[in-house]
Structure 1
């Protein structure tokens, strides 16, 4: 914090000083830029500075993309093309992602809806327990809002006006009154279309006869009167989105209040659990557990959801960007070992699309007409490694068409036509990979009936090996082909049935299956010949289609495989970033002093002394060292200011030098305040904690600070 904030200027500004303050704006009189402010105008509080001449208007952009001038100089039109391609691509996948996520939660929503409708009508029954559904939604709290919003809509759509639902979060409620007020206001307001604040504001002024209702806004009797007037409402579903994250006894108190009113209000309580049932049970008193009837619902998303994501987004016919093997393995490992959350996986896909179109100027290759007149893009295409390898391999042949290579290197039209053919080859590659993975999936399903010890690998687990060509000739392919040679007639029928279910009639595999003529098989010899032909055809198909994406020229334009970028985004290393900011503040701050050097923040000064000390730091010694560093800094800047004032005789320059933020005017009390502030910030960041220590045999304790983060510093 600059030291000047502790000072209040006592000298009134003169006209030149007021003119030097060009950041003034407000409702005062306006003056021209070249017009001096006279002394009679000094008493005015603010001025409007009008620059002489017409200022150049800054062009407004309706998109966040910027020009990439580092590698390929772009025009504004190219930036707009990249933004347009990105919006079309992301809109194409977002709809499918939303549909996929909703379908993944369909089974859980259906079970919860059945539970809500199956709870018997306990209205007027004083001995019925409060029905409570525990929804184990997983550790990813960011996905809970979407899940329970969909749950509320799902229940209301299927029950028309019979069920009233409300979704609340206890972290926004500091007490039981706040929680009840939120429940009541949302339930009363959702049928009238009013918002929560309007309902709460007039909750205490509802006229009843000749008198005014004086009940408080958190009184559940208000909700009882509302329920009596709602003839169609049969149940009230209260969804608490952060049940195991509430502080103290707030959740048990809410449960107790709903239990008390169970004979007048048909409550059904749904609690979102981010941990496990044993951990949640330890937070609920036994007395509260005796008031409720629990039933748990586990939000399980099987590998089928991930397989569908692979088919409909990553390997669909409209795919414009393919995730590379390294990036996909990283995301899949994080999904299996940590998150188990589709929202996180889909967010990574959208981030990959955004990064590709934002940072790659050649991403406009998806529309070749956009670069037909851009010579810089065409030159950049010839520098792509895959194209250079293609030219080198082509020219290394004994008999090669040199005219073809010459056209690609000299003629822009021929190069763009070649890029278009490579793009078509990429789309065909994606289609072949999708069919090959489906075939491997079908063969594994058929082999599971033959051998119960076979461990099935999902399509997501095979994806990275498939697009790199590692599956061709791999052990799993050899085992599946070997399995075909041992199939019985019933297994062949089962395999044919699975192929009919998974593949279209026009696909290559479906046509291959139609050529088997299973109905004409009679006898062992004809059966052995059939399975021999099937295994041979399957082997040839897999060898021909399990190719590597690196075989495609210009594959860098269609495949995104930045592992480190996504790892730093979705699993950032906070400690390294914080330490770099404290040790090298110039990396983030851009506020140099008049001498052209960056003034080091006081927090960085305290952190530097922290790194030089031992495990235990005497707080008085810490303060003494901090004070000496600040004093030395003050002396240096005082000498600089004196030399500046000696060469500057103008009164205005003298005044501006005194306005410069510097610690030269800091008193000891102000320095102590800054020291306490720096220590508090280090404690907040987790570097320090307070403790007391005894010296020798003395009974007096000494205040010390203990390092919490010191290893490696």
Structure 2
């Protein structure tokens, strides 16, 4: 019964013919266990249609963002082995031919996005340049042999095997694509020569025309190291050295995916190896700028009706900034918010285009109308109406539907005016010192969503700084705002705002023409009536006091210049726009239809705390198993709970060191009571072997989860690693 250790180890045996796991889809998420109603189907179809539009839009502008670096990389690969107009005996030509062309692509620390970026880049290379592309992961290439296996398997096809199967292959006359290939780079030159000759075969005339540039037209072999930092330096060094021996026979091109800094290459490779590479650096767009574009295309737009509340958007941004910098994960969080909204909000079926929503409103059942009447924002809206309209809204379904159509249209107009004015305010405040309202528009948007922005101290501070802005700076900001309004929909309120800003701009331009003459006239008048002039004359104490009082009064009632008055007028106009159009969404009736506000749900799914979940499951198993027999009051140990839960609760009562024998006795006492046995029976010194095995198994699981560990202080004790419980 004695054991030298609580648990010896954990072993995983994977089945040879493993079947793919069934990945849950959104349709299963909408299945709540009952029969799916027509409303649920409509919600799910609306979700699918809306997300498909968002997904296509995301992929389109992400391709546009990566277009510049992709074009540069394709051009580099295309020209990497072209040495036209170079003599064979030229020293520089021979040096270039002896080095491996290498593209060092700095993608940033947003590692989850790298896979998608390289997948798209690999597809582009295969479509436009060469079919010979190999992508390598550091976790799959821990030895040089594994790297060679991956490369040869992707290029030659078939199965790459080691020397043990070589003799077996010699006795079979199978084609190259089906034979097992010896794991060596020596097999590549012959294969590549055969491939290029086969692809270049054709008419004799075409052969004569292309023989001069046969080398230049040969497709290169591109090997992509997706995560350079995860490769072992020795493996990388040996593979590069092997490739350098074949660079005269194979047009190899290496692509390094770097997450940190280009200096990583020189830290991993000594000079003797790095000198074999001809490295060119490529820098991708920063993940912060990428996120700004995503928010602008998915959130700050009226193209998609679905919106996030301020707290939900703040959760997604915090996860992005403090966890992974991954735009891909941000988009997944956005998709999860969309899915949760359509799952939890029955009225989300109206979260669609305005014309489609009007048609659905006309087909609403009485139960749906009652749900609308129970929406908090609609209840506040009803309270503000007169008594006759209140009665109609609460009793007449048709009258309610007509009013809901009007409210949804007003909500749509609210967003059409909201986003252009928000961008104009960002233009004015994003260049101020210390950025009182934030440098990025997402910071300003979150503030405007959560409260009245004009009531904050940051807003007052920003307008005080704007009140000291120079003429040329203010003119530049006005021009940017006009450009923002021109790019938005040309409807009545925005058109009037743009015309007003253009009037301000023309006044500032005219002010520059008349400023010198007016300044001279105002200076002469001030000199004539200036109280300071009287101070230069001899005077008594009474006259001096009178003059000083006049100076103080004149400073208080100092007349503003034309520029200052015009600047004040512009700021008052902007403040009026903010107070009129940047009202929080909570002020709009039926905002719950399109706004998702389940921040706690998103935080629980995306920013989970594993230790908290483990301790909750072990201390309160009813929350997960939903078995009534497991209900217990706080602090008590339920004898019907699983063994690991009993062992966990018993270990909470111990100190830093836990006596295994005492622990076992307490466990047997609790379990025996649940099974109707005599609790005093185990005290005689003989423990049932089944209970002993169950105890050892439960303790082993606790050790595997990290709650305890063996200790050398006492052989029959274990050390506790965690403190506190639920």
What is the TM-score of this pair, normalised by structure 2? 0.71
Report what 1:374 is aligned to.
365
CA drift at 1:435: 0.6
Report what 1:392 is aligned to.
383
Pair 559,149 (structure 1): closer, same or farther in 2 beyond 3 Å:
same
**How big is each residue's C-alpha offset from its partner over 1:21-70, in whole Å with a ceiling of 9 and x where there is no partner?**
xxxxxxxxxxxxxxxxxxxxxxxxxxxxxxxxxxxxxxxx993254679x
**1:404 pairs with 2:394:** no
**1:63 pairs with 2:38:** no
Give, in whole Å, the separation in 1 of the partners of 2:129 and 2:478: 45
Report what 2:41 is aligned to.
80
Question: 1:176-191 to 2 correspondence within 5 Å?
Answer: 176-189=144-157
**How big is each residue's C-alpha offset from its partner over 1:180-233, in whole Å with a ceiling of 9 and x where there is no partner?**
2221121234xxxxx8799x9x99999999998787342222222222234343
Report what 2:301 is aligned to.
316
Give, in whole Å, the separation in 2 of the partners of 1:468 and 1:593: 44
Give, in whole Å, the separation in 1 of the partners of 2:502 and 2:141: 65
Report what 2:704 is aligned to.
684
Question: 1:449-460 to 2 correspondence within 5 Å?
Answer: 457-460=439-442
- Which of 559, 562, 566 pairs up with 2:598? 562
Pair 599,155 (structure 1): closer, same or farther in 2 beyond 3 Å:
same
**Does the aligned pair in 2 maintain the 1:443–1:480 contact within 8 Å?**
no
**How big is each residue's C-alpha offset from its partner over 1:155-199, in whole Å with a ceiling of 9 and x where there is no partner?**
344x434x732212242356433332221121234xxxxx8799x
CA drift at 1:480: 5.1
**How big is each residue's C-alpha offset from its partner over 1:127-182, in whole Å with a ceiling of 9 and x where there is no partner?**
8344444434344443221111112123344x434x73221224235643333222
Q: What residue ranges of structure 2 are gaps of 5+ in the alignment? A: 1-24, 84-92, 197-216, 352-356, 519-560, 631-637, 679-685
Report what 2:475 is aligned to.
492
Task: Tell me which moved more, 477-486 or 464-473.
Answer: 477-486
Report what 1:226 is aligned to.
191
Question: 1:539-554 to 2 correspondence within 5 Å?
Answer: 539-554=575-590
**Does the aligned pair in 1 maintain the 2:110–2:326 contact within 8 Å?**
yes
Task: Tell me which moved more, 237-246 or 322-331.
Answer: 237-246
**Does the aligned pair in 2 maintain the 1:357–1:363 contact within 8 Å?**
yes
CA drift at 1:114: 4.5
CA drift at 1:373: 4.5
CA drift at 1:276: 5.1
RMSD: 4.4
Give, in whole Å, the separation in 2 of the partners of 1:419 and 1:556: 13
CA drift at 1:235: 2.3
Question: 1:157-172 to 2 correspondence within 5 Å?
Answer: 157=127, 159-161=128-130, 164-172=132-140
CA drift at 1:105: 3.1
CA drift at 1:86: 0.7
Give, in whole Å, the separation in 1 of the partners of 2:192 and 2:281: 28
Report what 2:88 is aligned to.
none
What is the TM-score of this pair, normalised by structure 1? 0.72
Pair 143,494 (structure 1): closer, same or farther in 2 beyond 3 Å:
closer
Q: Which has the higher helix share?
A: 2
Give, in whole Å, the separation in 1 of the partners of 2:145 and 2:236: 12
Task: Tell me which moved more, 490-499 or 118-127.
Answer: 118-127
Task: Tell me which moved more, 114-123 or 461-470.
Answer: 114-123
CA drift at 1:578: 0.7
Report what 1:511 is aligned to.
499
**How big is each residue's C-alpha offset from its partner over 1:310-361, in whole Å with a ceiling of 9 and x where there is no partner?**
3321121223122111122222233233332211221111111100001111
Report what 1:94 is aligned to.
55
**How big is each residue's C-alpha offset from its partner over 1:539-562, in whole Å with a ceiling of 9 and x where there is no partner?**
332332121212211222221122
Give, in whole Å, the separation in 2 of the partners of 1:323 and 1:672: 54
Task: Tell me which moved more, 92-101 or 625-634.
Answer: 625-634
**How big is each residue's C-alpha offset from its partner over 1:425-476, in whole Å with a ceiling of 9 and x where there is no partner?**
221121212111221233357x67xx89999622111101223453336554
**Does the aligned pair in 1 maintain the 2:108–2:259 contact within 8 Å?**
yes
Pair 353,197 (structure 1): closer, same or farther in 2 beyond 3 Å:
farther
**Does the aligned pair in 2 maintain the 1:365–1:557 contact within 8 Å?**
yes
1:472 is paired with a residue whose SS is helix
Report what 1:465 is aligned to.
447
Report what 1:607 is aligned to.
648
Pair 626,279 (structure 1): closer, same or farther in 2 beyond 3 Å:
farther
1:312 is paired with a residue whose SS is helix
**Does the aligned pair in 2 maintain the 1:166–1:186 contact within 8 Å?**
yes
1:457 is paired with a residue whose SS is coil
**1:237 pairs with 2:205:** no
2:448 is paired with a residue whose SS is helix
- Which of 237, 243, 264 pairs up with 1:258? 243
